[in-house]
């Protein structure tokens, strides 16, 4: 990198991009083996519904292989400066904080490989998708106008672009441009089969009640019918298992009600499914425990306030 203007550029330490925490990922579809087989030879976008472990699978693979991951949570508000970087004020100095592209190239050159993880890639505006195309060329190089530097990927080094995306039926997403599609492999991922989904539950919440897990998986399967606007994902079921020891089953299932639109028939259908599957009438259940609230209010009334006469 040639920096004729001597601008100080702040780049991430590649070691800080390593995934060190185990993700609790159950590889029920062979995703980790798929990544190992490809081994950076092709850029990949994982296309599937929310909560099936797309991002978690990438991070777990990177953790096991010791590969740094530079993530970008994509949205319609992702800007060119997120990719390039921008100047910041540090005391009397104005160094340049490197964005994703120079940072990813730098980390790859230091370690030998880096994953650039685009979370919800199809949330990017079309012009930002075109920017990403530059990282998918062979012999990646990126000219940073702000500092007049050329960042180049060294020979034998891999900058691996991996993206995740939700189906086009989701709100706030765009179609991927043809140029980007032609440069990546797109792996279709659906909801896992019943036994596989149970394995995910047990991996995320060790010691979970098998009967409850089976009931939740069956419940979620019904909500994945085309008639439902919202389908319960493995992530939603894990949330139930995590709060159930504290809230109890009835209140935990009632809490899920909020995920369904309060208009239309989905919420009523969900309540009927819960009634049939768990013998719980959600119309009689309150997430906010009235007895607890009444008791707390009574205690508060008995407290002496400052300046209050006894």
Tell me whether strands 149-152 and 141-144 are parallel, antiparallel or unpaired. Answer: antiparallel
Look at residues 167, 188, 209 and tell me which one is the last residue of a structural domain: 188
Name the band, by pLDDT with cuts 50, 70 and 90, for residue 138: confident
**Mean pLDDT in residue range 42-57:** 95
Q: Which domain holds residue 56?
A: 9-188
Shared-domain flag, residues 200 and 183: no
Shared-domain flag, residues 26 and 164: yes
Output the average pLDDT for the chain: 91
Q: Percent of the chain scored above 90 by pLDDT?
A: 82
The answer to whether residue 73 sits within a structural domain is yes
pLDDT computed for residue 310 by the predictor? 42
Tell me the pLDDT tens digit for each residue of 162-185: 999 988 655 567 789 999 999 999
Neighbours of 54 (CB within 10 A): 25
Separation CA 32–CA 58 (nearest Å): 8
Shared-domain flag, residues 201 and 137: no
The answer to whether residue 81 sits within a structural domain is yes
Tokens of 119: 């979370």
**Mean pLDDT in residue range 260-283:** 93
Name the band, by pLDDT with cuts 50, 70 and 90, for residue 2: low
Separation CA 103–CA 97 (nearest Å): 9
State phi, psi for 143 to the nearest 5 degrees. -90, 125
pLDDT computed for residue 116 by the predictor? 98
Shared-domain flag, residues 224 and 89: no
pLDDT computed for residue 4 by the predictor? 53
Shared-domain flag, residues 45 and 109: yes
The answer to whether residue 304 sits within a structural domain is no
pLDDT computed for residue 167 by the predictor? 82
The answer to whether residue 309 sits within a structural domain is no
Look at residues 137, 161, 188 and tell me which one is the last residue of a structural domain: 188
The answer to whether residue 306 sits within a structural domain is no
Shared-domain flag, residues 161 and 216: no
Tokens of 2: 């040639």
Name the band, by pLDDT with cuts 50, 70 and 90, for residue 272: very high
Shared-domain flag, residues 180 and 215: no
Neighbours of 201 (CB within 10 A): 23
Q: If you compute the radius of gyration of the chain from its CA atoms, what whole number of angstroms results?
A: 25
Name the band, by pLDDT with cuts 50, 70 and 90, for residue 263: confident
Q: Is the pLDDT of residue 136 over 90?
A: yes
For the residues of 60-95, what is the DSSP string, one character each?
Answer: HHHHHHT--EEEEE--TT--HHHHHEEE--BTTB--
55: domain CATH number is 3.40.50.300
The domain tally of the chain equals 2
**Mean pLDDT in residue range 54-68:** 97
**Mean pLDDT in residue range 249-255:** 96
pLDDT computed for residue 59 by the predictor? 97
Name the band, by pLDDT with cuts 50, 70 and 90, for residue 300: low
**Mean pLDDT in residue range 27-42:** 94
The answer to whether residue 310 sits within a structural domain is no
Q: Is the pLDDT of residue 236 over 70?
A: yes
> E strands of the chain, at which residues?
9-10, 43-47, 69-73, 85-87, 96-98, 113-119, 141-144, 149-152, 158-165, 184-188
The answer to whether residue 305 sits within a structural domain is no
Shared-domain flag, residues 91 and 207: no
Q: Is the pLDDT of residue 296 over 70?
A: no
Look at residues 173, 188, 203 and tell me which one is the last residue of a structural domain: 188
Q: Is the pLDDT of residue 291 over 70?
A: no
Shared-domain flag, residues 33 and 14: yes
Tell me the pLDDT tens digit for each residue of 80-110: 999 999 999 999 999 999 999 999 999 999 9
Shared-domain flag, residues 87 and 217: no
Separation CA 134–CA 104 (nearest Å): 12
Shared-domain flag, residues 24 and 161: yes
Q: Is the pLDDT of residue 308 over 90?
A: no
Shared-domain flag, residues 162 and 275: no
The answer to whether residue 308 sits within a structural domain is no
Tell me whether strands 69-73 and 43-47 are parallel, antiparallel or unpaired. Answer: unpaired
pLDDT computed for residue 9 by the predictor? 96
pLDDT computed for residue 280 by the predictor? 97
Are 278 and 253 a contacting pair, CB within 8 Å? yes
């Amino acid at each position: 990198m040639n920096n004729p203007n001597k601008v100080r550029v702040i780049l991430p330490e590649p070691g800080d991009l390593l995934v060190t925490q185990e993700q609790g990922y159950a590889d029920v579809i062979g995703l980790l083996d798929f990544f190992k087989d490809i081994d950076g030879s092709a850029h990949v976008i994982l296309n599937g519904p929310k909560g099936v472990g797309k991002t978690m699978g990438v991070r777990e693979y990177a953790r096991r292989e010791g590969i740094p991951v530079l993530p970008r949570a994509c949205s319609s508000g992702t800007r060119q400066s997120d990719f390039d970087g921008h100047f910041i004020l540090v005391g009397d100095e104005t160094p340049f904080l490197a964005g994703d592209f120079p940072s990813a190239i730098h980390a790859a050159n230091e370690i030998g490989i880096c994953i650039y993880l685009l979370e919800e890639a199809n949330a990017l505006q079309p012009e930002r998708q075109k920017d990403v195309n530059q990282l998918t060329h062979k012999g990646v190089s990126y000219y940073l106008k702000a500092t007049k530097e050329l960042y180049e990927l060294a020979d034998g080094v891999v900058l691996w672009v991996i993206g995740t995306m939700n189906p086009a039926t989701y709100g706030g997403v765009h179609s991927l441009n043809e140029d980007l599609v032609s440069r990546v492999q797109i792996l279709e991922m659906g909801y896992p089969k019943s036994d596989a989904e149970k394995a995910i539950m047990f991996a995320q919440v060790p010691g979970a009640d098998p009967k409850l897990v089976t009931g939740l998986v069956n419940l979620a399967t019904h909500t994945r019918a085309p008639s439902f606007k919202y389908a319960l994902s493995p992530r939603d079921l894990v949330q139930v298992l995590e709060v159930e020891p504290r809230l109890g089953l009835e209140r935990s299932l009632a809490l899920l009600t909020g995920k369904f639109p309060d208009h239309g028939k989905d919420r009523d259908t969900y309540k009927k499914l819960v009634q049939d599957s768990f013998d719980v009438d959600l119309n009689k259940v309150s997430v906010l425990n009235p007895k607890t609230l009444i008791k707390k209010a009574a205690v508060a009334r008995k407290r002496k306030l400052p300046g209050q006469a006894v």
